[in-house]
Amino acid sequence: MLTHAPKALYIHIPFCTNKCHYCDFTSYVLKGQPVDAYLDALEREMVMTAEALPPEEIRTVFVGGGTPTVLTPPQMERFLASVKRHFPIHADAEFTMEANPGTTDLDKLQAMRAGGVNRISFGVQSFDNGLLERIGRIHNVDDVYRSIENARTAGVHNLSIDLMFGLPGQSVEQLSDSVAKALALDLPHYSLYGLKVEENTLFHALYERNELPLPPEEDELAMYMLLIDRLTGAGYGHYEISNFAKPGFESRHNITYWRNEPYYGLGAGAHGYARGERHVNIKGIQPYLDAAASRLPRLETNAVSEEEAMEDFMMVGLRMLRGVSGDDFARQFPDRTIEDVFGEPLARLLKLGLIESADAVGGYRLSQKGIPLGNEVFGAFIS
């Protein structure tokens, strides 16, 4: 198990202008929230984290949410300065912030750029205004174009957008139109997610009442295959099951997760993984503020057994289309090999043609047949 200080840093800003109908992330409607007190508490967590596990060199930062771009430009400036005060950010670090197209004017994007942000991931989801409204997003398609233009004007060119498929009432044609519009923006990175109906969301309540018109399963599969086809056809590498990039623009931060490497996780509801322990922070805003006044605001911390860490390694690693590497496995688990530990599921999945040898990395990867059946493959490594 890797024991060095994490080189990746995740920070959670748990506020959004409103709650999307499918969202089960730790996020709270902004109005009336003590945002400045939250930023104070976050800085206290940074201080305590740096004392408990001194950072050496941070290579990737990811500020997610929630919607980090609900911060005002002065709050943004203060927040980003606090990150740099407590973590030694490498000069070539990838520094990503999630953004909502409805909350990104030029002032804010300039404050982000000045504070070190050099990559932005926009939650676009669709280029169909009717669909955006139906899923509870606050932005419209014009906001998307304006935000991308503002980001470029502010000097951030490493941009990604998220699109969703399998949305209620969405047709394959509608998705095809959204992808064409997304590709016309000529961005270096695209993330494409299928809708999952999660508990405690408005969509779940509608689903339970049989009032959520989800596309049939075969359409959902057709949508995923169409996305792969269009993105790879446009020259993007399909490097992770849901992610596509031009060469050199793969998300370095997310690759940390998929390689099962350690990362700091700060903020309400954030997860972290370091020195063989995973933690989850307290989710509620006031309980988080109260806890951070005197201690690391942990909800739970669990030691990860070697067995569990090896399973995680396979489960998240196979999400990358390059596959899992035997050398990486040996580095994390000295004296063990993938074949010794996972002989049975490997043989079964190879026989089914869902995975194949990945000679380039000396390991295994999803086959073409296995890509749409990823969840079945990942599940095979969990005891």
Q: How far is the CB of 79 from ligand SF4 (least distance, A)?
A: 17
Among 27, 121, 126, 251, binds ligand SF4 (CB under 6 A): 27
Q: How far is the CB of 127 from ligand SF4 (least distance, A)?
A: 17
**Based on CB atoms, which residue is closest to ligand SF4, 202 or 309?**
202
| Contact stretch for ligand SF4 (CB under 6 A) within 21-29, 78-86, 191-199, 337-345 | 21-29
**Which residues make Cβ contacts (< 8 Å) with residue 71, sequence separation at least 6?**
13, 35, 39, 79, 108
Chain-centroid distance of CA 26 in Å reads 13
Number of residues this chain uses to bind ligand SF4 (CB under 6 A): 11
Chain-centroid distance of CA 80 in Å reads 20
d(CA 97, CA 122): 9
Q: How far is the CB of 123 from ligand SF4 (least distance, A)?
A: 6
| Contact stretch for ligand SF4 (CB under 6 A) within 20-28, 264-272, 312-320, 340-348 | 20-28
Q: How far is the CB of 51 from ligand SF4 (least distance, A)?
A: 30
Among 20, 132, 197, 291, binds ligand SF4 (CB under 6 A): 20
The reply to whether 160 sits near ligand SF4 by the rule CB under 6 A is no
| Contact stretch for ligand SF4 (CB under 6 A) within 64-72, 81-89, 149-157, 252-260 | 64-72
Q: How far is the CB of 66 from ligand SF4 (least distance, A)?
A: 5
d(CA 228, CA 221): 11
Among 8, 16, 159, 338, binds ligand SF4 (CB under 6 A): 16
The reply to whether 66 sits near ligand SF4 by the rule CB under 6 A is yes
**Which residues make Cβ contacts (< 8 Å) with residue 91, sequence separation at least 6?**
none
**Based on CB atoms, which residue is closest to ligand SF4, 103 or 256?**
103
**Based on CB atoms, which residue is closest to ligand SF4, 23 or 195?**
23
Tokens linked to 62: 């990811």
d(CA 284, CA 80): 23
Angle of CA points 115, 97, 366, to nearest 5°: 140
Can you tell me whether residue 163 is helix, strand or coil?
strand
The reply to whether 25 sits near ligand SF4 by the rule CB under 6 A is yes
d(CA 307, CA 6): 21
Q: Of the candidates 26, 21, 25, which has an alpha carbon nearest to the alpha carbon of residue 138? A: 21
Tokens linked to 192: 């494409």
The reply to whether 67 sits near ligand SF4 by the rule CB under 6 A is yes
Chain residues 77-136 in contact with ligand SF4, contact rule CB under 6 A: 100, 123
d(CA 253, CA 59): 8
The reply to whether 195 sits near ligand SF4 by the rule CB under 6 A is no
Scanning the structure block, which residue is given the tokens 């089914």? Answer: 352
d(CA 27, CA 18): 9
Q: Which residues bind ligand SF4 (CB under 6 A)?
A: 16, 19-20, 23, 25, 27, 65-67, 100, 123
